[in-house]
Amino acid sequence: MANPSLLILAGDGIGPEVMAEVKKIISWFDAKRGVTFDVSEGLVGGCSYDAHGTPLTDETMARAQEVDAVLLGAVGGPKYDKLDFSVKPERGLLRLRKEMDLFSNLRPAQCFDALADFSSLKKEVVAGLDIVIVRELTSGVYFGEPRGIFVEGNERVGINTQRYTESEIARVARSAFELARKRNNKVCSMEKANVMESGILWREVVQEIHDKEYPDVELSHMYADAGAMQLCRWPKQFDVIVTDNLFGDLLSDMAAMLTGSLGMLPSASLGLPMANGRPKALYEPVHGSAPDIAGTGKANPIACILSFAMALRYSFGMGDDATRVDKAVEKVLADGVRTADLMGPAGGTPVSTAQMGDAVIAALNASL
């Protein structure tokens, strides 16, 4: 049997630093668990533009289509702000998502007990929080046509089009229902059916898929603005939230900050099954490239490490090992090990990016 294949695209800013700690864990699996990954590497984002004049080469795109999973660090930075829109670093990431047809974006928001005090909400509201937002990723207002900036009369007008087909809604709904069956069997679908026709269609299709295929899963509907309010009021009422591209972008960032630090949160973007039955997939931390701290050793690698754990679970069928990595991170945090973004009033043991990775490796060793 072929080794599981992984394409690493470290990207820009702190991307290479946090990815270096994931590489330690990949080596640990080879040495301690007898699991060897076929790892290849490539460029994406600003570093790819610097080297090739494009944020993603055709060769790297082709490789992404071939491997079992892609693990990405971060893209972008102020030095690229004045580039033409077509070659900005973020276009590389969007191309990966679009051409791999990664329509289902899983954004967990989990609050580790050791970090409950970091949230802006009361500890009892967020302690133990464990929800997932499933965001439709390849359609909606970010991709709909017509779009652009046009001149009408004596002024400019910016146009973006919110557009969804039944099949696009149905497949992301199925993704959410399948995920819910592996969790607490509860889905809340969020849209704006009160003011948007696309929201009306979204609600109707999600309900139809539920009634025909997933009647065992508890389904509720909520307007997205009310959902934002409820996420701030009592987030633990939710389990799986499914929503469109725009609202998912907003709600997942809101949910991320409930946990206290963007440096803690992973994500998975999943597509249709490949020949091996597993979905095409790209995994990446939620945080950005943070160029202001790049090279300082202050970056928190946990989100990238947990993104690799998601790859173990969803792409490589290694659920027990994914849990092993999750538990190692939980132990490190419970022991008070802290990168700069996690240093609060309660203090802790301050560590660098590399030292945090070493602490996770030590916890993995202790788990054997």
**Active site annotation includes 320:** no
Of 30, 50, 117, 253, catalytic:
253
Of 12, 80, 192, 283, catalytic:
192
Of 249, 321, 326, 341, catalytic:
249
- In sequence order, which residues have a C-beta less than 8 Å from that of residue 164 and are 6 or more positions away? 136, 139, 140, 198, 201, 202, 244
Residue 130: strand pairing partners:
110
**Active site annotation includes 68:** no
**Active site annotation includes 249:** yes
Dist. CA 242–CA 116, nearest whole Å: 25
**Active site annotation includes 211:** no
Residue burial 129-146, b: 16+ Cβ < 10 Å; e: rest: bebbbbbbbbbbbbbbee
- In sequence order, which residues have a C-beta less than 8 Å from that of residue 19 and are 6 or more positions away? 8, 10, 71, 73, 304
Residue burial 164-194, b: 16+ Cβ < 10 Å; e: rest: beeebbbbbbbbbbebbeeeeebbbbbbbbe
Of 49, 142, 164, 214, catalytic:
142
Of 117, 225, 335, 358, catalytic:
225
118: its two tokens = 């970091």
Whose tokens are 């693990």? That residue is 71
**Active site annotation includes 321:** no
Query: Which residues are part of the catalytic machinery?
Result: 142, 192, 225, 249, 253
